[in-house]
Amino acid sequence: MTETRIQRVAVLGATGSIGISTLDVIARHPDRFEAVALTAHVQAERMAELCAKFRPRFAVMGDAMRAAQLREMLAGSDVRAEVLFGSDALADVAAHEDVDTVMAAIVGAAGLPSALAAARAGKRVLLANKEALVLSGRLFMDAVSESGAELLPIDSEHNAVFQAMPASYVRNPDKCGIRRILLTASGGPFRERSLESLRDVTPEEACAHPNWVMGRKISVDSATMMNKGLEVIEAHWLFGVPPERIDVVVHPQSVIHSMVEYADGSVLAQLGNPDMRTPIAHAMAYPDRIEAGVRSLDLFEIARLTFERPDVRRFPCLDLAYQALRAGGAAPAVLNAANEIAVAAFLERQLPFQAIADVIAATMERAQGLSVDSLESILETDARARQLARAELAARQVR
Ligand code: NDP
Ligand code: MG
């Protein structure tokens, strides 16, 4: 073991899919990890259960009402968590001196300020919240290098890429001879459905991912392949590779989690069962390897691995994300904000599935003169792009 002291972990988004998998890994290794802070947005009851099990020092809810609910639920018990609320409290626990490691697993742009606070405070940052990097790539990576934070990717593809890269990459990327990053994509639940039938897709169908169990927003992103688009942008910032050297390969079995091709023709891949506890445990224990509760990969059962090119007509969101990355500046932040609004509208049955891409494209066309130089300007850009996307939604409902 390289580290004997117990790592004190803040799990931001503890009630979510990644949060619960993280707590599962923590519970398997009480000699290594301690959950000192847990955060949720609205699920006070779930949070009370987690507090009873993990006994954190801090529990953060989204607002005063939810915090009061949680306090009331804990009042009769022997749980002594300090209950806080709001985005300042999230950033405070992420940067707290008694926290070593921050799992950034809040969904959407809402996760940026706390993830950035962790990066600025020089923590070990386990980044699941890809939207944070899409919004603030340069600012976030600068914060990591200035503070000496350790950034480890949780997204399974980026964690796979990280595993397929030499340890010297962070210090000397030019000497590693990387030719391409190959991000694998399952193709989601609609890879083989007829284009016509996509018109009537329901949120339930979109959230029924063939290989992964995830939160609703990322499940819809997987169905549109915007998830892969956001991951291309994420890979660009994490590994400093330009968009023309990041390729997407549809691989329906989700066994190869991504690959790196080198100048000598070698292609290194990371394989495993699709279970997020693998990348979570990898990043939490890095550079050690620990038990994660994931069953062995049975290659005989899987039998064949297949690969396809992404269908650009079926998945226009993927192309929109490449466009945003090439355009640079505020374009990825606008893309992300419009996507969040459009996906929420789809989940509320206010927008047809195939119109998600249209709302994003229209918002990107309209958004002008926005900047992403500071956290404040990024949040303003995010708010402005959301306004534009909502106006586009409203115009569609009138039409
Ligand atoms: P979930 O929707 O399952 O969970 C989201 C978590 O964030 C919950 O704890 C939720 O609290 C909290 N939350 C939601 N909105 C806010 C807000 N406005 N402010 C503060 N907290 C909030 O999401 P996932 O776990 O699926 O995804 C989390 C992140 O990880 C996303 O960025 C996603 O892209 C990324 N990711 C997820 C993967 C997966 O397998 N799930 C794989 C790779 C990346 P509450 O429960 O109280 O609402
Ligand atoms: Mg992923």
Share the mean pLDDT of the chain: 96
Per DSSP, the chain holds a count of helices (H) and strands (E) of: 16, 11
The reply to whether 233 falls in a domain is no
pLDDT at 2: 54
Q: How far is the CA of 217 from the centre of ligand 1 (A)?
A: 8
Which ligand approaches the C-alpha of residue 69 most closely? 1
For the stretch 98-140, pLDDT in tens is 999 999 999 999 999 999 999 999 999 999 999 999 999 999 9
**Res. 3: pLDDT tops 60:** no
Q: What is the mean pLDDT of residues 145-149?
A: 97
Burial 203-240 (b: 16+ CB within 10 A, else e): beebbebebbebbbbbbbbbbbbbbbbbbbbbbbbbbe
**CA 351–ligand 1 middle distance (angstroms):** 22
For residues 162-168, average pLDDT: 92
pLDDT in tens, 306-335: 999 999 999 999 999 999 999 999 999 999
- Looking at residues 291-317, what average pLDDT do you find? 96
Q: Is 114 within a domain?
A: yes
Q: 3-state secondary structure string, 267-305? A: EEEEECCCCCHHHHHHHHHCCCCCCCCCCCCCHHHHCCC
Ligand 1 binding residues, C-beta < 6 A: 13-19, 40-43, 62, 105-107, 110, 128-131, 155, 212, 214-215, 217-218, 276
CA of 88 to the centre of ligand 2 (A): 28
For residue 264, being part of any structural domain is answered with no
**Residues 44, 41: Cα–Cα separation, whole Å:** 8
* Confidence band of 5 (pLDDT split at 50, 70, 90): confident
- Of all protein residues, the one whose alpha carbon is nearest to atom 4 of ligand 1 is 16
Q: What is the mean pLDDT of residues 137-152?
A: 97
**pLDDT tens, position by position, 11-41:** 999 999 999 999 999 999 999 999 999 999 9
Which protein residue's CA is at the shortest distance from atom 26 of ligand 1? Answer: 215
CA distance 239 to 230: 14
Residue matched to tokens 């130089």: 373
- Number of structural domains (the chain) is 1
Handedness of CA 291, 292, 293, 296 (dihedral sign): negative
Domain-embedded: residue 268: no
- The enclosing domain of 38 has a CATH number of 3.40.50.720
Closest residue by CA, ligand 1 atom 41: 214
Mutation to probe ligand 1, out of 18, 183, 220, 233 (largest number of atoms < 8 A from CB): 18
Q: In sequence order, what are the residues at sequence separation of 6 or more whose Cβ sits closer than 8 angstroms to the Cβ of residue 291? A: 28, 29, 281
pTM: 0.97
More confident residue, 2 or 79: 79
- Is 43 a domain residue? yes
> Does the structure show a pLDDT above 80 at 61?
yes
| 226-239 and 216-224 helices, crossing angle to 10° | 100
- According to DSSP, the residues that pair with 181 across neighbouring strands are 246, 260
CA 215 to chain centre: 10
Range of the domain at 40: 7-153
What is the pLDDT, as a whole number, of residue 209? 86
Residues with CB under 5 A from ligand 2 (ion): 155-157
Per-residue pLDDT at 83: 98
* Contact (Cβ atoms closer than 8 angstroms) between residue 256 and residue 156: no
For residue 260, being part of any structural domain is answered with: no
Separation CA 104–CA 116 (nearest Å):
9
Distance, CA 393 to ligand 1 centroid (Å)? 24
Q: Which ligand is nearest to the CA of 42?
A: 1
331: closest CA among 383, 390, 385, 374?
A: 385
Could you tell me if residue 144 is inside a domain? Answer: yes
Which of 125, 162, 218 gets mutated to test ligand 1 (max ligand atoms within 8 A of its CB)? 218
Does residue 377 form part of some domain? no
Residue 4's pLDDT band (cuts 50, 70, 90): low
Residue type present at position 186: S
Vertex 312: Cα angle to 309 and 318 (nearest 5):
95
Report the side by side order of strands in the sheet with 267-271. Answer: 246-250, 178-185, 256-262, 267-271
User: How many angstroms is it from 223 CA to the middle of ligand 1?
Assistant: 17
